[in-house]
Amino acid sequence: MDTDRLTSLLKCVQDGALGIPEALDALRSFPYDRLDEFVALDTHRAIRTGVPEVVYCPGKTDEQVASIMHRLAAHSDRVLATRATAAQFAAVRARVPDAVFHPLPALITIGAPPEPANPERYVAVLTAGAADTPIGEEAALTLECLGSRAERLFDVGVAGLHRLLDRLPLIQAAHVVIVCAGMEGALPTVVAGLVSRPVVAVPTSVGYGASFGGIAALLSMLNSCAGGVAVVNIDNGFGAACYAHRINTDPRATE
């Protein structure tokens, strides 16, 4: 259940097109729907937070992912799963034929992304190198599924700074900037020194041994000398997108 569906339901009751018993039946799983002894789906989350429950696939069986996504699709026009495998997608597709697999960011989506409420306001998603693209694409696709416009600017890292400077007008016009970088994780600091908007830094697990699977980039970003940088966990493009989406769509935010 999301805000649009609940509004439509209440309007039908108000107009007399739907009786109270039928409305109560539609709300039977509100605010959560217990699938089995292990899973209770939070069908109220989109109304509370603006972001619906998203399926995190690791640790779940193929059948669990399929069952959860099938049930969520009954409550919402759009469903998202992260860190999915091809086998999990095959199980989902068997139940929901219009499910789509995005191999690079390992996402499964059901339903077309909504049109952004304010298409002029967008989030710029930057990656330092091509190896960071899976995390950048996870962020960009998540933003689009949530209803934010995403502008992709990939492979603009500090090893060739002219690539970043060539795209600077588009970056500076963004409402929020997500920056994904591995190795030494310098790109978010450089970007934050060039823009007036919030920068969400995403350390990635890209790099040689001393990068420690993204810990070096994480520590660099946490120690940024530029103000206005928030840092999410290693490889957490999804979390960065959720944070940026809230900023991007906040009606109280000034232009």
Beta bridge partners of 132: none
**Mean pLDDT for the chain?**
89
**Where in the chain are all domains bearing CATH 3.40.50.1970?**
122-249
At residue 178's C-alpha, the angle toward residues 176 and 184, to 5°, is 140
For residue 182, give the 3-state DSSP assignment.
coil
Q: What is the Cα Rg of the chain in Å? A: 20
> Could you tell me which of 162, 163, 209, 161 has the C-alpha nearest to residue 182?
209
DSSP secondary structure letter of residue 177: E
First to last CA, the chain: 31
In this predicted structure, which of 10-14, 147-151, 189-193, 237-241 has the lowest mean pLDDT? 10-14
Predicted local confidence at residue 40, as pLDDT: 66
Confidence bin at 17 (pLDDT 50/70/90): confident
For residue 106, give the 3-state DSSP assignment.
coil
Confidence bin at 26 (pLDDT 50/70/90): low
Q: What is the pTM assigned to this prediction?
A: 0.84
- Chain centroid to CA 84: how far? 14
Residues 41-81: tens digit of each pLDDT = 666 667 676 777 889 999 999 999 999 999 888 877 889 99
Q: What does the pLDDT average to over 238-254?
A: 87
Confidence bin at 253 (pLDDT 50/70/90): low
Q: What does the pLDDT average to over 236-254?
A: 88
- CA-CA-CA-CA torsion sign (139, 231, 204, 234): negative
For residue 178, give the 3-state DSSP assignment.
strand
Predicted local confidence at residue 190, as pLDDT: 96
Decide if domain 122-249 falls under CATH 3.40.50.1970: yes
Q: What does the pLDDT average to over 205-218?
A: 95
Distance CA 9, CA 16 (A): 11
Pairing label, strands 79-82, 107-110: antiparallel
For tokens 């409305």, the residue is: 23
Beta bridge partners of 149: 122
Instruction: Report in angstroms the alpha-carbon separations of 235 from 71, 186, 204, 214, 250.
Output: 28, 15, 5, 8, 25
Predicted local confidence at residue 52, as pLDDT: 77
Predicted local confidence at residue 235, as pLDDT: 97
Distance CA 228, CA 204 (A): 20
